[in-house]
Amino acid sequence: MKQSFVKALIVTVLVLALSLGFAVSAFALPINNVSNSYFYDVNGNDASAPLAFTVDRVISYPDIVPNGTVKQPFEPVDLHYHDGYLYVLDAKNRCVYVLDDEYKLVTTISRLSGDNIPDIYVVQDGSSETEDGEEVPDLDAGSPEADAEAPTGPVVMTGGNKFELQGPMGIFVVTGDVDEDGDGKKDPVIYISDTDNQRIVVCNLKGQVSQVYQQIKVSVLGDLYSFKPTRLVVDNTGDLQVICSGINRGIMQINSDGEFRAFFGAPDVLISAWERLWRNFATEEQLAQMVTFTPTEYSSLTIDKRGFIYPTISALDDAAVKGLRALSISPSHSPVKKLSADGTDMLRRKGLANPMGDLVWAPSKEVSPKIIDISVQSDSGRYTILDQQTGRFFTYDADGNLLYLAGGKGTSQGTFQMPAALETQGDYVYISDTTAKTITVFRATDYVKAINEAAQASANGLWETSIPLWQEVLSYNSNMFIANIGLGKAEMRLAMALIDDQRDANGMNALDHYEKAIFYFDRASEKDNYSVAYTALRGNELEKYFGLIFGVIGVLIVGLIVLKIVRAQKKKKAAKAMKKRVDQGPMINRAKKGDAE
């Protein structure tokens, strides 16, 4: 009796343990941050995956400036990687740190120089103090101290130093035309969004200013708007694409001469069908009480080699949140876009959902995605987004398929308290944390390297090369349905390259490749490409056996014709014989009658 009780107890404990294990539903991993080694399968459920990144190092202020004296707490608000150097923008200390490939300090840009730096003019918004609490002198636009070119209205010259940065928020670096050092390399040109000074400063590594963009005149905004640039990029023509705080008309485009060109790519305003209908019948008083629908502001942006702009939206409205929760792939619900020169969204959304980070989140809006930064790998079309809400970063291919993810919220290594900026370069990802006052350097694992190599080969049209690479990815993670899609696409492309019954070096013809493509697409539940491959397979099979089919049909047609002729001849003979018998009938009767007589 006692032994039976013990056995029953053991069985009960095991059943409870298994039940608890299965109770960790598909929704628990991302929401509760149980692990950062997960992935979403073809059904949108999370599944275990190999570790995507390891922490290479964590950089803090003492690592950048050993034995240095810091005026304010280290606040790395933006990062930019260019030509082997990592540029770190420190908002609190109003400077830029330039680090080499070993993360050693090369130079610090803390003070600007140059004779062409204009006085600082800012449009006041009712405040009489700067961010540091300094009194702002109340100078009229026409006073001797003010610049004669200053616009009329409540514009004053601050007590700030025009040779220093004030609350900078963004940095971007391009290769210039000058080689001052004579080392054969063109010097970098650094663009800094000097936000609180309401200007964009362009300088070199020594802080020597070549141009300043301020008091940008925009007729639709009037003369009294505040030009507060936060993030910016520069295209190949030298035009600036700028996100400005407080402006929701889209991205501000400024030419190299500092003239406003246009706003483009304004985020969509989502209004329900019921709201639209109600507005048609509402009175003026009711309309006045309704909520005004205005576009949200972009949070960050980047640019690829072809000039496409990738902006992100961190503050999503209720309609967008609702759409993302339903795994919508509508561009109107997307926190990420890919804008052409005319503002058209060209981002491909062929994945399980919009590129938004985790597919499942807690029911309240407070934990919905907050995408604050983005980085793009131009050669392959991969891009990585940073979700400040969860502390995770997610990498997608050019079609919008999630490839891998890492990070999280917390205080342990590899997690963040308040992630602020993201940058990628090769196998490395850099993320700054303004609360922890650190920059974490992530290094890709062999698993991620295999994915990147396979995706790169596919993007470059190296289909035969991509096949063993995607197979290697599957050996790491059998849940990686994107690898099956990659294999299916490769097999389909190889099939298209073969003519008639031509065989490749592996002895396979087009039909063989189409059959394999269908197999891989079926495993990935990829309906669209499956349909294309299936149709092509049937078309090739029909073409292959066309001669035989045509011959059989020809024989059948000839046979039918011959049969018809034979039947006609037989019918004709039968009719002739019948006529003969009919004609001979009276003669026979007369003969029989004569014999009888």
Task: Give the whole-angstrom CA distance, residue 432 versus residue 420.
Answer: 6
37 assigned to some structural domain: no
pLDDT of amino acid 50: 94
pLDDT of amino acid 105: 96
Residue 540: which domain range?
Answer: 458-544
pLDDT of amino acid 42: 87
The rounded Cα 35 to chain-centroid distance in angstroms is 23
- DSSP code string of 242-274: EEETT--SSEEEE-TTS-EEEEE-PPPPP--HH
21 assigned to some structural domain: no
Same domain, 533 and 424: no
Contact criterion met (CB below 8 Å) for 233 and 300:
no
Same domain, 527 and 402: no
The rounded Cα 87 to chain-centroid distance in angstroms is 23
Residue among 82, 52, 76, 50 at smallest CA distance from 64: 76
CATH number of the domain where residue 333 is located: 2.130.10.10
Residue among 382, 335, 320, 329 at smallest CA distance from 354: 329
Same domain, 354 and 466: no
141 assigned to some structural domain: no
What is the token pair recorded at 356? 């938004």
pLDDT of amino acid 325: 67
Same domain, 475 and 577: no
Task: Give the whole-angstrom CA distance, residue 146 versus residue 141.
Answer: 6
Helix and strand counts by DSSP (H, E) for the chain: 12, 26
Q: Model's pTM, two decimal places?
A: 0.78
Same domain, 346 and 462: no
| Chosen domain end from 523, 544, 565 | 544
Please state, rounded to an integer, the average pLDDT across all residues of the chain: 81
Residues 6+ positions from 239 with CB-CB distance below 8 Å: 253, 254, 255, 256, 261
Task: Give the whole-angstrom CA distance, residue 238 versus residue 242.
Answer: 12
Give the length of the chain.
Answer: 597
pLDDT of amino acid 95: 96
CATH number of the domain where residue 195 is located: 2.120.10.30
CATH number of the domain where residue 486 is located: 1.25.40
Same domain, 99 and 179: yes
Helix H or strand E encompassing 294: none
575 assigned to some structural domain: yes
356 assigned to some structural domain: yes
pLDDT of amino acid 6: 47
The SS3 assignment for 494 reads: helix
Residues 6+ positions from 510 with CB-CB distance below 8 Å: 495, 496, 498, 502, 540
Backbone angles phi, psi at 551, to 5 degrees: -65, -45
Same domain, 440 and 464: no
The gap between the terminal CA atoms of the chain, to the nearest Å, is 126
8 assigned to some structural domain: no
137 assigned to some structural domain: no
Contact criterion met (CB below 8 Å) for 437 and 60:
yes
Contact criterion met (CB below 8 Å) for 376 and 310:
yes
How far lies 88's CA from each of 204, 350, 439, in Å?
15, 35, 9
Same domain, 498 and 432: no
Task: Give the whole-angstrom CA distance, residue 597 versus residue 595.
Answer: 5
Task: Give the whole-angstrom CA distance, residue 589 versus residue 67.
Answer: 143
What is the token pair recorded at 78? 């933006």
The rounded Cα 228 to chain-centroid distance in angstroms is 27
Low-confidence ranges of the chain (pLDDT < 70): 1-36, 124-160, 268-295, 317-319, 325-326, 361-367, 500, 539-551, 579-597
Task: Give the whole-angstrom CA distance, residue 370 versus residue 359.
Answer: 13
Task: Give the whole-angstrom CA distance, residue 58 versus residue 45.
Answer: 32
Contact criterion met (CB below 8 Å) for 434 and 75:
yes
Contact criterion met (CB below 8 Å) for 199 and 227:
yes
| Chosen domain end from 444, 470, 496 | 444
Cα angle at 127 between 72 and 192, to 5 degrees? 50
Tokens 């049909």 belong to 553
| Chosen domain end from 386, 416, 444 | 444
Same domain, 221 and 202: yes
Three-state SS sequence of 77-104: EEEEEECCEEEEEECCCCEEEEECCCCC
pLDDT of amino acid 461: 92
Residue 332 one-letter amino acid? S
Alpha helices in 39-84 (DSSP H): 61-64
pLDDT of amino acid 156: 57
Residue among 67, 69, 66, 63 at smallest CA distance from 86: 63
Same domain, 342 and 410: yes
192 assigned to some structural domain: yes
Same domain, 79 and 165: yes
Which residues are paired to 394 by β-bridges?
Answer: 385, 405
Instruction: Please state the domain count of the chain.
Output: 4
The SS3 assignment for 199 reads: strand
Same domain, 166 and 243: yes
Residue among 4, 201, 167, 205 at smallest CA distance from 91: 167
